[in-house]
Structure 1
Amino acid sequence: MSGVVDLAAVKAAGEAKQKAEQARAEAARQGGVPGAGAGPLVFDVDEAGFELDVLQRSAEVPVVIDFWADWCEPCKQLGPLLERLAQEYAGRFVLAKVDVEANQLLFQQFGVQSIPAVFAVVAGQALPLFQGAAPEAQVRQVLDQLVAVAEQRFGIVGAPAGEGEGVPAAPQAPATPYDSALGAAHDALDAGDLGGAVRAYKNVLSDDPGNPEAKLGLAQAELLQRVQGMDPQQVRKAAADAPGDARAQIAAADLDLAGGHVQDAFGRLIEAVKRTAGEDRDAARVRLLELFEVIGPDDPRVTAARTALSRALF
């Protein structure tokens, strides 16, 4: 599950584009449309079915996850609204409902702090959307942004399903000159060649420094490269024995993030910045900024950690 929130997007982003194109081509051949029609628009999901029902399906259509519980009154307001909008959007996203009482592991691994909480999974990458029973106008705005991000970043279009005529699918993303290089990076990851993946992502960034897929892929591939071959028990013991050793804390933070413990990794490095000075302090700060790239700038945990880092520095 460590890859659910933090690491799956490296490989899944490229695969998602390919699957989306294949789905469109097959639908065109059969005279239909691709998208969410292959399954229900609203469904319950548990830990056992998460990979199939959410991760795999997220390569074809954005999956919105509603974390709820029977005792939660705001959940009873938000849940029906999300279900109604899932039908209205007619396949541009699907809604997975997670009962947190029965699925504590998912609740913890997504870092949910209160419910209702709404996330999305696009091409295997989790995106926090909002918490609480938001008004309908705000929910619609978030969903519109989600559909746009799914198309622009991953080439995924949730097409109308069933009787949803008149609900336009987002325009198909044009091919870019870097698709072959990004494909080479994904192939290298498949083969376990992390060095090759890093080089491929750097090749893209040398020509297009702002390419979001390459930036994310490079940050995650470099993280995987760093933790490869680490002895987790030894690394964590060294960090526990020497709280003021910046290098030990940096190595442990890499393990934290690779294991999906995002806030632990950020907190560890912020504490290292507070406790150290000079080159050690700067090394902890730089690694923290690199880990921000792994998660993405829009994640609220990154925003909170940036604020905490500023306080630690100044």
Structure 2
Amino acid sequence: MADSPHIADVTAQDFEAQVLQRSHEVPVLVDFWAGWCAPCRALKPVLEKLAQEYQGKFFLAKIDTDKEQPLAAQYGIRSLPTVQLFRNGQAVDSFMGAQPERTVRALLDKHVARESDAIVRNALAAQQAGDLDQAATLLQQAVESDPANDRAKLALAGLLLARSQIADAEALLKSLSPDTRDSAEAAMLKAHMEFARLADGSLALTELEKKLAATPADSETRLHLSARQVLNGQYEAAMQNLLEIVRHDRKFRDDAGRKSLLAVFQLLGNNHELVKKYRPLLASALN
């Protein structure tokens, strides 16, 4: 295995080229190990076997932590073996311990290129160009030809939600692998789905705005309006409406204002400026 083009011992001197730069081309699996570590020795043949089997779809970088202690410290390695997967210059996935082959394979399959990914790229290009029918057709083709491609399923679920095909999107999300089902992207789609459910069958956005202006204390209308606003990308307006429900009608629909506001946080992500703004406002309203 030492002569494999898909495997290399990496040091601090070539980490930039072998891991960070290469990860812009293919996923790089970095094995932090040590010679005295028995689980490391057990994991080594599993990783090397997969590197050979995948034939360049990922690169295996092996780092001896006894020789590269500063590099191990830089990436927070406290237990051996620790394996991190790098993509586009960042560690995006990891595991610790001598995991079985099926576990390592499942992690890799979330990130390595698949033949159906080309179909997904074409579908996303069609969606970007506004051809939603073509995008849906291509994504359906990708899912049918490669049922294990969770990336295709996530993309199709997002498109279905944009077209208010809620039941179909929900079925796709339920068919995801367990790891992807718990991912941040899936969580965002689930949050989006809840707002799509709320908006389904309600009045149009402008009609809801008129109704709320006439009856400001109507929490049901305010909730439906916030759902429409979320789906329309008017996140701050939606968050302000949900915060009003928390402040003035906390018991409405079993605390629907707070739960829906948390769903918007999940949809946008913790680092979004609006989440940073409204999280303390929510905390204040709850006290």
TM-score band, normalised by shorter chain: 0.3 to 0.5
Which one has a bigger Cα radius of gyration? 2
Q: TM-score, normalised on structure 1?
A: 0.41
TM, length-normalised to structure 2 = 0.44
